[in-house]
Structure 1
Amino acid sequence: MSTSIIFVAILVFGFLVARGIGRIAPGRAGVSGLGFLLLGVVLGPVTPPRVLTVEVLDALDLFVSILLGFTGFLAGLRLRSALREFEHTMAGALSALLVILAVACGCAAAVQASHPEFFRTTEPVFAMPIASDGHWLLSLWLAPEALWVTLGIAAAAGVSATSVITRVANAHGVHGPRVGLLHAMATVGTAFSVVVLGVAMAGSRASAAGAEFGLTLTEWGIIVVGFGAVAGVLFTVYLGRERDAMRLTVASVGAVTFAAGAGVALRVSPLFVSLAAGAMVASTSTHSDRLQVALQPLEHPASVLILLFAGAHWRPVSGWLWLLPVAYAVTRWFAVRVATRLAVATFLDDRALVRGLGRGLVGQGALAAAIGLGFAQRFGEYAGVVLTTVLGGMLLTDVLAARSVRRLFADAGDIHVREAS
């Protein structure tokens, strides 16, 4: 089948299904999203009928990058509203940091052991001897490649979906400071997670191209952020004080395309570059709120397509590596509960808000899949481990995410207990 026909069919499918779910069963969007993930696996090269073969996926790689760029751009735009409360911002960043550290520490050894070639590196990130009996040496050892893979998985763990919070809150008429705090923490934590992914990508690029360009991790990071900032500035300059809707759409498409293209050219994540572009637009343009409204109808179709392509890029693993999704989901579940409590207690004095707040942040959604997909694009040889861990963890947690948020609101007295059950 022609790649062009497949591309058009997938595009139409994403828009039609997203619109249908939005009208018929808006409360089931989270569960149906996992269905798109599984559909991507069925359509991918792993199982018959293999509609999305490796060749087709390679041909659609640029389109996938633009999808990732659009997702990152929206995440950057939303930072403007999330950053209005300093305490909420700091709580969200600290919570995401603690979750990322917990998952990174929990999966580093497994990632290191998943690829024997990691042990053959001559320049590990660190090698700390612990004990020796004269014949065997026990040491903490981490190869650079294992570090980047670990950070990619951990970055996905820091993502919390605002869509689950919004759906449950709207369904039960819940408003107030608890919903606002959850939204702010999820938005800031997601942006922080994309930054961690960008650091991992930039670190890998600096290691691989160090001899050629002589640039450090910091210098690569500045270059990447600089391209995103340029895209945001170009958007602001092009639009000026115009209020025309068509001009607004054209400017946003141009900014996303430029940022995503820069991410591909630099061999780092389009998500990260586009996040910087969106944050720049949010801070410099008076049209950022209108832009969010204009782009909102495209978010769900883009999420459907990201989940579909993430499933198609998945590659099966073998042996004990199938335990990684379970370890990821369990570690993240407890880390989110503990980290959220610590972060909110550190920056806010309201004890009523602290109690059980982490239950509202367990859902992940399409952006976690986008991080895994972006990593698989850059590190195809590690796609199996990363996507199995991240997507498998999503399957285990997102089916319970809406119920977890409802129980949080019910226990807090925001909705009736019988209604939440």
Structure 2
Amino acid sequence: MRDSLILVLVVAASYLAARVAFEWLARRFVIVSGAEYLLLGILLGPQLSGILSRETVESFAPIATLGLGWMGALIGAQLVLHRLVRIPAVLYRVALVESLLTLAFVAALLAAALFLGFDVTRGEAIVAGTALGAVAVASASAGVAVVARQLGRRSPVVRQLEVSTAANALVAVVTSGILFALVHRTPPSVGRPLTATEWAVVTIAIGVVGGTLFHLFVGEERKVDRLFVSLGGAVILVSGAATYLRLSPLLAAVCFGAVLANTTRNRAEIVAALDRVERPLYFALLVLAGAAWRPSVRAWTLVVLLFLCTRVAAKLGGARLAARWNGMLPTLGDDWGRGLLGQGGLAIAVALSYLYQDEVPLPNLVFTAAVASVLLTDVLSARFVRSLLRVDLLTPDGAARHEPNDAVRGAAASEG
């Protein structure tokens, strides 16, 4: 009874926060709400006040799995092919190069630090370092959206940030999904052990089959209420199956959302149904993730500090190099990577899915690094973007920067 009451209170508080606090804070103070709910979960969790016991937090794991799946489905629902092909290739190249540079730099440096500083094997250090790299890639899209609404127009920098945050999300999810397939251990009941490639295919197949079945049975439904109930059941099925098999619920749900977005005629209704409870589920996920936090038994302070510094350097340096290599530096400016410093909830989702895996190395350390990064950057993510655009407008060549190059101009024409 007590656990049920706590769950109701968490969901109700998350819903009210989403309805009231999020928009008001964004409009009044240019603050993206989220990190405070993660902090609230830590305060309520067994590490501090103990209001939520460890058993209670573990009993809420299905709610967290639903939140992970819902987040993945929303990411996949944005992958609409006929819209993606209208975006110029140069924006994709910049976004992909920045994502891969950040992933490689953070993963390599943290893997080396873990191998040298902890009593772990080289393979374990590489796995944990790659997980930290996947967490580091993720960037908050909410801050970009808040500033874009305030500006009332989409400058080339905002357009690139929108593409880059989407690419960051996809790279983070795919990397974590492949990592889980690589470290997956086949249950003893299975006759022939599956290879990592086969487990990756299974992860994708869960989402594709789930999306196909939804399209066949409910794909033509137009009422948002019925779609919402059906989507809830489908997301629970997809994310639950992936979690049960110790695979990535995020990657499976991304595939599910992508199938829906590209096969159904009522795409707008499906997205509206997904958006309906996005923020309440997001805030509830943050509270539960905070409650699930446990400090690593290892000396984690220096590693977390190294992760924070490495991620900032990788984001700023990777963004500048990506823009320079693709001839976009005059348009975007040297410091456009500041708009990618906010972490967002996806970083927590990737780290939480890693925490839920069995027998992965240093799960609490990876999760602690993600929690620290979100707490330090999430609230200021919108201010990072606004300060970037303000500086850009005040520079002598600001007018030149906001003149779109041929590729960006072509995209605007095609969208129009």
- Normalised to the residue count of structure 2, the TM-score between the two structures is 0.86
Which residue is 1:377 aligned to? 356
Q: How far did 1:43 drift?
A: 0.8
Aligned-partner residue type, residue 155 of structure 1: A
Residue 286 of structure 1: CA displacement?
Answer: 2.6
2:371 to 388, 391, 405: 391
Aligned equivalents of 2:189 and 2:166: distance in 1?
34
Matching of residue 311 in structure 1 with residue 311 in structure 2? no
Alpha-carbon distance, 1:74 to partner: 0.5
Q: In structure 1, give the amino acid aligned to 2:310.
A: T
Listed one character per residue, the Cα deviations across residues 232-287 of structure 1 (whole Å, up to 9, x for unaligned) are: 11122123333222332233223211211111121112111111111222222233
C-alpha change, 1:343 and 1:23, in structure 2 (3 Å) is closer
Instruction: Indicate yes or no: 2:101 matched with 1:98.
Output: yes
1:83 and 1:89 in contact (8 A); partners too:
no
8 Å CA contact 1:210–1:216 kept in 2: the answer is no
SS of residue matched to 2:339: helix
Question: Does 1:3 find its partner at 2:3?
Answer: yes
**Correspondence for 2:200 among 221, 226, 231:** 221
Aligned match of 1:181: 160
* Amino acid across the alignment from 2:385: V
- The aligned counterpart of 2:280 is 301
C-alpha distance in 2, partners of 1:322/1:72? 30
What secondary structure does 2:210 align onto?
Answer: helix
Structure 1 segment 144-223 matched on structure 2, within 5 A: 145-206=124-185, 213-223=192-202
Kept in 2: contact 1:325–1:388 (CA 8 A) = yes
Q: After TM superposition, where is structure 1 displaced by more than 6 Å over at least 4 residues in a row?
A: 207-211
1:411 corresponds, among 391, 400, 405, to 391
Distance 1:198 1:234 in 2: 22
Tell me, in whole angstroms, the C-alpha distance in 2 between the residues paired with 1:225 and 1:266. 13
Alpha-carbon distance in 1 for matches of 2:323, 2:256: 29
> In 2 relative to 1, CA 288–350 (structure 1 residues): closer, same or farther, beyond 3 Å?
farther
> SS of the residue aligned with 2:300?
helix
2:252 match: 273
CA distance in 2, matches of 1:83, 1:372: 31
Distance 1:114 1:64 in 2: 32
- Which residue type is aligned with residue 58 of structure 2? D
Give, in whole Å, the separation in 2 of the partners of 1:347 and 1:195: 24
2:362 match: secondary structure: helix
Alpha carbons of 1:294 and 1:357: their partners in 2 closer, same or farther (altered >3 Å)? same
Query: Quick one: which of 328, 351, 355 aligns to 2:330?
Result: 351
Q: Which ranges of structure 1 fall in alignment gaps of 5 or more residues? A: 120-141
| Structure 2 counterpart of 1:134 | none
What amino acid is the match of 2:111? A
1:326 to 287, 295, 305: 305
Asked if 1 retains the 8 angstrom alpha-carbon contact of 2:33 and 2:379, the reply is no
Structure 2: how far apart are the matches of 1:248 and 1:153? 36
Q: For 2:77 and 2:190, how far apart are their aligned partners in 1?
A: 36
Q: Is the 8 A contact 2:60 2:288 kept in 1?
A: no
* 1:401 counterpart (375, 381, 384): 381
Task: Using the TM superposition, give the Cα deviation of residue 223 of structure 1 relative to its aligned residue in structure 2, in angstroms.
Answer: 0.9
Number of residue pairs matched by the alignment: 392
Contact 2:319 2:337 in 1 (8 A): yes
Q: Which position in structure 2 is the counterpart of 1:364?
A: 343
Deviation at 1:61, TM superposition (A): 1.1
Summarize the Cα distance change of 1:83–1:155 in structure 2 as closer, same or farther, 3 Å threshold: farther
Query: Does the aligned pair in 2 maintain the 1:44–1:311 contact within 8 Å?
Result: yes
Shift of the 266–83 alpha-carbon distance from structure 1 to 2, 3 Å rule, reads: farther
- TM-superposed CA distance for 1:194, in Å, is 0.5
The 3 A distance-change label for structure 1 pair 243 and 345 is farther
Counterpart in the other structure of 1:24: 24
How much has 1:2 moved relative to structure 2?
Answer: 2.2
Residues 206 and 216, structure 1, Cα contact 8 Å, conserved in 2: no
Letter in structure 2 aligned against 1:228: G
Match of 1:42 in 2: 43
Higher mean C-alpha displacement, 213-222 vs 284-293: 284-293
Distance 1:222 1:30, change over 3 A: farther
* C-alpha contact 2:203 2:242 (8 A) present in aligned 1: yes
Distance 2:231 2:30 in 1: 26
CA distance in 2, matches of 1:318, 1:253: 37
Give, in whole Å, the separation in 2 of the partners of 1:382 and 1:29: 35
- 2:209 is the counterpart of 1:230: yes
State the alpha-carbon separation in 1 of the partners of residues 318 and 187 from structure 2: 34
What is the aligned partner in structure 1 of residue 405 from structure 2?
none
Gaps of 5+ in 2: 399-416
Aligned equivalents of 1:41, 1:281: Cα separation in 2: 35
CA offset at residue 192 of structure 1? 1.3
Residue 112 of structure 1 is matched in structure 2 by 115
Larger deviation: 337-346 or 360-369? 337-346
AA of the residue aligned to 2:220: R
Corresponding residue number in structure 2 for 1:248: 227
Q: Which has the higher contact order (CA 8 A, sep 6+)?
A: 2
For the 8 Å contact 2:46–2:54, the answer to whether it is kept is yes
C-alpha distance in 1, partners of 2:316/2:168?
Answer: 14
Q: Which amino acid aligns with 1:404?
A: F
